[in-house]
């Protein structure tokens, strides 16, 4: 952890420089390019925090798709920003106040990687880590516990591919318990990842993928509806941005 610190410090300093430069640049193409670099470096920072999924998403969406979408916007709005009349006083004040409030909020957060953080000690959090929220116990045997977790985890993984994960997950759990039990491939890795997922977020995502996917779909649907409402009926719809997306 310590050896990563100087790298993180330099990375974040570069990110700040890029952020300021992005705001100040008059050339919108330069701003777009700098935003791509910003996302790339932020993804590196996420990687340093072992937040692999966040880093993946940041790199793919922030540096990849966003850049292309912003370029599609530049086709419509042109490359040069109009000269502004200096900073807007009220907006600056609101921004500074919001930033101060957020920074004040972070003082209540537990330290990064703190094992005594509320997420780890809270009753619900422990249940999430053990992956037994809403879990039906078909067999009451004591020594079967580890295999339960595996069976549940495995069933949830399958359910991510299903079309109706919410209904199929419990059924698979009931049926899969016995067949996983004798599977040598599953028994082979009984390390950190064999019996349960050590990371809380990953545990929730892996074990409750069905809900996760359901709400993600709702969010994406809402975003799509908003985009359609915003973009309809303006001259002729720009074909370029559609192709780029």
Partner 1 sequence: MNPVLIASVLVLIGLALVLIRTLRGPGVFDRILGVNMIGTKAVILLCLLGFLEDRGGFLDIALLYALINFVGTIAILKFVEFRRLGA
Which residues are CB-contacts of 2 (< 8 A; sequence separation ≥ 6)? Answer: none
Two tokens at 19? 């952020």
Measuring CA to CA, how many Å separate 105 from each of 34, 75, 112, 121? 29, 40, 15, 21
From residue 206 to residue 245, the character string flagging contacts with partner 1 as x (rule: CB under 8 A) and all else as - is ---------------------------------xxxxxx-
Q: Which residues, numbered 48-67, are part of the site for partner 1 (CB under 8 A)?
A: 48, 50, 52, 55-56, 59-60, 63-64, 67
Taking the C-alpha atoms of 89, 82, 78 and 237 in order, what is their torsion angle to the nearest 10 degrees?
50
Given the complex with partner 1, which of 15 and 207 has the nearer CB atom?
A: 15
**Site membership for partner 1, residue 92 (CB under 8 A):** no
Which of 56/215 has CB closer to partner 1?
A: 56
Which member of 21, 28, 119, 130 binds partner 1 (CB under 8 A)? 21
Q: Does residue 12 bind partner 1 (CB under 8 A)?
A: no
Q: Where are the alpha helices (DSSP H) in 78-208?
A: 89-106, 118-121, 123-130, 145-161, 165-181, 184-188, 192-195, 200-207
Looking at the DSSP bridge assignments, the partners of residue 80 are: 27
> Whole-angstrom Cα distance, residue 14 to residue 37?
10
- When the beta carbons of 41 and 180 are compared against partner 1, the nearer one is 41
Q: Using CB under 8 A as the criterion, which residues of the chain lie in contact with partner 1 when the complex forms?
A: 3-4, 6-7, 10-11, 14, 17-18, 21, 29-30, 32-34, 36-37, 40-41, 43-44, 47-48, 50, 52, 55-56, 59-60, 63-64, 67-68, 71-72, 74-75, 239-244
């Amino acid at each position: 952890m310590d050896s990563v610190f100087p790298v993180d410090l330099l990375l974040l300093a570069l990110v700040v420089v890029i952020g300021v430069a992005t705001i100040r640049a008059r050339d919108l193409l330069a701003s777009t390019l700098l935003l791509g670099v910003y996302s790339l470096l932020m993804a590196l920072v996420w990687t340093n925090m072992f937040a692999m999924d966040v880093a993946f998403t940041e790199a793919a969406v922030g540096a990849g798709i966003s850049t292309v979408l912003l370029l599609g916007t530049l086709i419509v709005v042109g490359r040069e920003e109009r000269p502004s009349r200096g900073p807007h006083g009220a907006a600056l004040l609101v921004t500074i106040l919001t930033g101060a409030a957020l920074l004040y909020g972070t003082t209540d957060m537990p330290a990064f990687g703190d094992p005594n953080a509320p997420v780890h000690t809270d009753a619900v959090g422990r249940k999430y880590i053990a992956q037994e929220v809403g879990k039906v116990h078909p067999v009451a045997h004591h020594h079967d516990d580890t295999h339960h977790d595996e069976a549940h985890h495995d069933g949830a993984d399958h359910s991510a591919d299903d079309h109706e994960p919410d209904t199929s997950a419990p059924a698979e759990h009931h049926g899969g318990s016995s067949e996983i039990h004798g599977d040598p491939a599953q028994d082979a890795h009984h390390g950190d990842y064999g019996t349960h997922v050590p990371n809380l977020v990953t545990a929730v995502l892996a074990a409750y993928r069905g809900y996760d996917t359901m709400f993600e779909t709702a969010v994406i649907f809402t975003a799509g509806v908003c985009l359609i409402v915003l973009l309809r009926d303006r001259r002729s719809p720009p074909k370029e941005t559609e192709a780029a997306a």
